[in-house]
A and B are shown apart, each in its own frame.
Chain A
């Protein structure tokens, strides 16, 4: 059976902000990838950034350093 693991999930107000994250991740080698927003965070659709939870500090520092607009940073158990 597939097990859930802790993930850090960054949410965005808009698709444009998510695309800015994707572009910055490509340019700076940030960990993670775009995923659909998990329903436990937001029941609507939309894009989020997901990485292993151990990357949380590095990721939040990068968000701050690069001035990447985002709504929230969450830890979620995900497959």
Chain B
């Protein structure tokens, strides 16, 4: 099997991740539910994981990291806890359904208004249009850091400035970027970052959460057992327990901590560099195949044409490393072969070549509409630094063979 579906879940993990989960399952008690060794071991592991998440993304510290089941749950917590009756929210067409559906549900219920800023057919965002979407009652902007369809990375520091100029809070969906694209909440003035553990943080499924800046108050999404203040009628209001209820997935978080420790050791820059090299090799190879259509890349072109702006970022205290040209794309290459149904192509890749990709809508319906692929879907190849050049070359050869037969 050749696994190119890392934007869904990274399958190849550092071996210490599984080892940590196995150790945890055999030794952990409940976090904050006792003072015996088993409970304290779990509690300390979760605490260290909170600190590592905060360190990774320039957050305000362990107390501001609340764990959740995944990025979708974290986004629901943030959106439902920040958007109130009569408020208006802004998002973009690059958003995943984990952003769109919570917003649309509130809009359909008549409790909030929502504006969706279009994405261009090349995957780029018009930042002036984003600015223009704000209204006097705009309370919240929720944006994806990178499209899960094209890998285009959006300028979250710029989006934060725009949101703050309008008095709104910015929530970033970092499901596709945490661990592979640098994030600095403090330098980029991000209010809330929602992350998942099972993608580029190399943790198990069922781990994720949100990091909340100082002064941002999110109403509790769920309440219940907290391990403290048990005779109080109401759930604790302090972070992170404010946004957590019930026993945490400490077994999974132990694996997430191992993944975070691996990233810290290897470095985000090295992981990104190796991942992007593989994606670029693939893109160059399949780009030369007759009949192959590639999607996205518009943010990179926009960033290049707006290069002088990087001086302005430096003047605003944003490190140059957060505005570099190689930060405009994750390790995703999305394509179609002529007009062939993307699901058929993905199935052929799987059945005939043992290559795992993702076809269809990718839970990003508005992005497909923007690219003009809402009927055909698209075949997404998403790479990990654990992939090899030989695997990439096998992928190019498979696409070339299918294109030759199908076009």
Contact = CB atoms under 8 A, between A and B. Distances in A.
B228 A46 contact: yes
Contact of A15 (B43, B48, B230): B43
B40 A46 contact: no
B265 interface: no
A60 interface: no
B40 A44 contact: no
Contacts of B231: 43-44
A44 B34 CA distance: 13
B44 A14 contact: no
Interface in A12-51: 13-20, 22-23, 34-36, 42-47
Interface centre among A17, A43, A45 (most CB of B within 10 A): A45
Given A15-B228, A16-B50, A45-B228, A22 B238 contact: no
A15 B63 CA distance: 10
Given A34-B35, A45-B230, A14 B241 contact: yes
Contact of B47 (A20, A42, A44, A45): A20
Interface size class of A (residues with CB under 8 A): 20 to 34
A13 B238 CA distance: 8
Chain A interface SS verdict (over half): mixed
B47 A34 contact: no
Interface string B134-145: 000000000000
A45 B227 contact: yes
A44 B228 contact: yes
A67 to B, nearest CB: 11
Nearest to B242: A14
Contacts of A17: 63
A15 B339 CA distance: 56
Contact of B241 (A16, A34, A45): A16
Interface in B234-289: 236, 238-241
A19 B238 contact: no
Interface residues of B, number: 25
A19 B248 CA distance: 15
B128 interface: no
Given A44-B232, A45-B230, A14 B238 contact: yes
A16 B40 contact: no
B62 A16 contact: yes
Interface in B31-75: 31-35, 40, 43-44, 46-48, 50, 62-63
B38 to A, nearest CB: 13
A55 B34 CA distance: 24
Nearest to B65: A16
B238 A15 contact: no
B229 interface: yes
Interface centre among A15, A17, A23 (most CB of B within 10 A): A15
Nearest to A36: B35
A36 B228 CA distance: 10
A42 B230 CA distance: 10
A22 B31 contact: no
A72 to B, nearest CB: 14
A15 B241 contact: yes
Nearest to A43: B231
Interface centre among A13, A16, A20, A36 (most CB of B within 10 A): A16
Given A15-B241, A17-B63, A44 B230 contact: yes
Given A15-B241, A16-B240, 16 more contacts: A13-B228, A13-B238, A14-B63, A16-B62, A18-B32, A22-B44, A22-B47, A36-B34, A42-B229, A43-B231, A44-B230, A45-B33, A45-B228, A47-B32, A47-B227, A47-B228
6 contacts: A14-B240, A15-B31, A19-B47, A23-B48, A42-B229, A46-B228
